[in-house]
Amino acid sequence: MLKEVDEAVAKYIRPDSFPLAIRMVKEGEELSERTRRPRRDMQIQVAVCQTLSMSRRYGWQIAVGEEDINCPLALTAFGFKEETEVFNCGEMCAGMYTETKSAGARTEAAVPKFSFDRYKYILTAPIARADFQPNLYLVYGNSAQIMRLMTAVLYRKGGYLTSKFAGRLDCADICIETMKTGQAQIILPCYGDRVFGQTQDHEMAMTLPVGIEEDLLAGFEGTHRGGIRYPVPSFLRYKPEYPKHYYKLFDAWEKGETSDNE
């Protein structure tokens, strides 16, 4: 099914970077030899958004755990480190994202989180190259591409897609919110994703939970038959208008006037 999903995304969405498969790996699960680890293989610690960008731009299969990640907010949200009062009180938000610590505390309380020590690694790879069973898929694209993907997701069930945004910790929206709700999510790349993941201004993303594959493929085909396309076709069957003095040429042709050079 991974092959079918990858081929459908390539055909109907045409993203500029690899669509990803993502799995939350538990203690005791083995990572394959081809899986890169930033701390071990690159001698660096990274942000989760940076990991996703490496995977979707380089085509690498990468796993990150506590020892690979140096973003304290992500370490908290993903349960690699225990929550502390320094996090919960809103201090991490105050003065940057919120005016006060109390407002920041409300933001932190709304961040999707995994319980402490539930997972060992975040594992990601391009869908076509993944050697694991994912929990979700992640596709980056421009707004038109994400719109096209969304129409496929809604094809069978209808209605609206509801997502939430805070401008920070989009890694939690991508992985945790999608897994906890079992629903597709539109992702507005956060500030950190733009700084550390180098996500561009024109990019958005969408996550899809595993289990949606059959409906997704049917949605791609059905909306395609209905006329939904990417690239979005422009309406070009209209009569253009030009500056008024251009029309003097038509008058000259009608009168049979020619150039003096002839």
Interval 12-32: pLDDT, tens: 999 999 999 999 999 999 999
Q: Where does residue 169 rank: exposed (0-12), middle (13-18), buried (19+ CB within 10 A)?
A: buried
Q: Report percent pLDDT > 70 for the chain.
A: 99
Give residue for tokens 């932190």.
Answer: 108
The strand pairing partners of 89, in sequence order, are none
Give residue for tokens 């505390």.
Answer: 105
Tokens for 134? 């994912």
Q: Average pLDDT for residues 45-57, to the nearest whole number?
A: 98
Q: Average pLDDT for residues 66-80, to the nearest whole number?
A: 98
Whether the CB-CB separation of 72 and 81 falls below 8 Å is answered with: yes
Q: Where does residue 74 rank: exposed (0-12), middle (13-18), buried (19+ CB within 10 A)?
A: buried
Q: Amino acid identity, residue 205?
A: A
pLDDT of residue 259: 78
pLDDT of residue 258: 80
Helices 143-154, 213-225: axis angle to 10 degrees equals 110
User: Edge-to-edge strands of the sheet including 204-209?
Assistant: 62-64, 121-126, 20-25, 136-141, 204-209, 185-187
Q: How many helices and strands in the chain, by DSSP H and E?
A: 11, 6
pLDDT of residue 149: 98
pTM, two decimal places: 0.93
pLDDT of residue 261: 61
Residue 78 has pLDDT above 80, yes or no: yes
Q: Phi, psi (5° rounding) for residue 78?
A: -85, 0
Distance of alpha carbon 170 from the chain centroid: 9
pLDDT of residue 262: 55
Alpha-carbon torsion (183, 51, 64, 31), positive or negative: positive
Whether the CB-CB separation of 33 and 65 falls below 8 Å is answered with: no
pLDDT of residue 189: 98
Pairwise CA distance, residues 151 & 11, whole Å: 15
Pairwise CA distance, residues 18 & 182, whole Å: 22
Q: pLDDT per residue over 182-229, tens digit each?
A: 999 999 999 999 999 999 999 999 999 999 999 999 999 999 999 999
At residue 257 the predicted structure's pLDDT band, cuts being 50, 70 and 90, is: confident
pLDDT of residue 206: 98
Q: pLDDT per residue over 94-145, tens digit each?
A: 999 999 999 999 999 999 999 999 999 999 999 999 999 999 999 999 999 9
Pairwise CA distance, residues 22 & 130, whole Å: 9
Domain layout of the chain by residue ranges: 2-254
Q: pLDDT per residue over 135-174, tens digit each?
A: 999 999 999 999 999 999 999 999 999 999 999 999 999 9
Q: Phi, psi (5° rounding) for residue 50?
A: -65, -40
